[in-house]
Structure 1
Amino acid sequence: MPELVLWDIDHTLMVTGGLGRELWAQAFAEVTGVEMREQAAVTGSTERVILRETARLHDVPYTDGLFEDFAQVLGLVHIRRAAELRERGHALPGAAVVLAALTEQGVPQSVVTGNVRAAAEVKLSVFGLDSYLRLENGAYAEDGEDRADLLRTALGRAGTSPGEAVFLGDTPADVAGARTAGIRVVAVATGRTSADDLAADVVLDNLSDTDRALAAIWA
């Protein structure tokens, strides 16, 4: 049994029903004064990288201060529109059951995500998933750009070695980051990448089969 289970959030535990991009565009416009015409590729990236590349697409100078302002506003936008998020998005089938089963087994859990922390907390709270997770031990967009570095940050906060942890994610970046960080990875094909293209040792179609998901995590 692992001593720590780490989760990606978007398309692994939940989906926003398309609202996520709207919230992002709203925060971008509020911070930069520029309406977002297009957004840089988001799959597997962190908000910091997405903001930098989206700013470049709009000829907006990027600075660390811009990201800090954006992170604060994006969190506030999620708070203001939490009810809409609850209506349009949903936790993915089986996610809450697997989280609850691991909690019952006494396994600590947290998140490693490209989201800024405030937005991540709203998403998880809206769908009732936050109570299973030790969010203070997670890693977020404020902590870096590289998935492997985020995983190492979360391990450090939890006081856990790579060999004692498991990471679940839905993108090739999740798989590659876990391997670089020396963490066993279980891929979940509930995002935009097919099971074949995830190329992980263990790939679940989804989390609906609780016994299979737990077996993959406990392997």
Structure 2
Amino acid sequence: MTEGLLVLWDIDHTLVETRGVGRELWATAFHEVTGVEMREQVSIDGLTEPVIVRETARLHGVRYSRKLFEEFARALGAAHLRHVTAMRERGRALPGALPLLAALADCRGVRQTVVTGNIRSAAEVKLAAFGLGRFLDLNVAAFGEDADERPGLVSRALERADVPPSRAVLLGDTRADVQGGLALGVRVIGVATGRTGVDDLTAAGASAAVADLVDTDGLLRLITA
């Protein structure tokens, strides 16, 4: 078994899906902060929260600033805390996510964390709602507050964990996840549980891609190879 390995997880559509709750809470926070009803939202696949806020604000004629993002982040985190029950009832951990995280947690020398475009408070609610947070070291995680682009998030997590890229593996469901890992020299495994298929994840440069997380034993071998 490989020792000294850092496993970096994306959250949305890799480990969990909120089935519309996340978008509803996002729209609530956007209206609270800007006074504008959200008519549309930019395509969020692989984007970090600051970029989603910036581009969605632009679509609504709202001037973006870092202060606006910080206010939005506070509102979004509070909304997630208020609606954690709805998150739990309507969303879910994706099939295989819980047993795979539990199995990796039992592997000697393996640490798991997240590299996500979510703000920290929202990410913590999602992970806790579906019983995943206890397997993850969030002290070395990277969240939407940490960088606007995926490579910056991966870099921050590696720095916090004090792990070289050669001792890390990233799992994510978008081309942006793949490209973010590769930019730092991290091995990437694509997980086709979002809107990007196995072939597209492989074409983006993933060293391997899987349809889902259901095959615990097979994924353990793949991740720790």
Give the equivalent residue in structure 2 for 1:206.
212
Give the equivalent residue in structure 1 for 2:65.
63
Give the equivalent residue in structure 1 for 2:11.
9
CA RMSD, Structure 1 to Structure 2 (Å): 0.8
Give the equivalent residue in structure 2 for 1:116.
119
1:61-100 superposed matches below 5 A: 61-100=63-102
Q: 1:105 aligns to what SS in structure 2? A: coil
Give the equivalent residue in structure 2 for 1:129.
132
Q: Does 1:172 pair with 2:172?
A: no
**Cα displacement (A) at 1:146:** 1.1
Which amino acid is 2:118 matched to? N
Equivalent in 212, 215, 223 of residue 217 of structure 1: 223
Equivalent in 15, 21, 24 of residue 22 of structure 1: 24
Equivalent in 138, 145, 148 of residue 142 of structure 1: 145
Structure 2: runs of 5+ lacking an equivalent:
none
TM-score, normalisation: structure 2: 0.96
TM-score, normalisation: structure 1: 0.98
Which amino acid is 1:146 matched to? E
Q: Does 1:31 pair with 2:25?
A: no
CA displacement, residues 136-161 of structure 1 (integer Å, 9 cap, x when unaligned): 11000100111111001001111111
Which amino acid is 1:22 matched to? E
**Cα displacement (A) at 1:187:** 0.6
Q: Give every structure 1 segment of 4 or more consecutive aligned residues whose post-TM-superposition deviation is greater than 6 Å.
A: none
Count of aligned pairs: 219
Structure 1: runs of 5+ lacking an equivalent:
none
CA displacement, residues 20-70 of structure 1 (integer Å, 9 cap, x when unaligned): 111100000001010000001100000100000000000000000000011
CA displacement, residues 117-145 of structure 1 (integer Å, 9 cap, x when unaligned): 00000000000000000111100010011
Which amino acid is 2:127 matched to? L
**Cα displacement (A) at 1:105:** 0.9
Q: Does 1:156 pair with 2:159?
A: yes
Distance of 2:120 and 2:207 partners within structure 1? 29
Equivalent in 185, 192, 196 of residue 193 of structure 1: 196
**Cα displacement (A) at 1:201:** 2.1
**Cα displacement (A) at 1:216:** 1.2
Query: Retained in 1: the 8 A contact 2:5–2:224?
Result: no
Distance of 1:41 and 1:205 partners within structure 2? 22
Distance of 1:88 and 1:217 partners within structure 2? 30
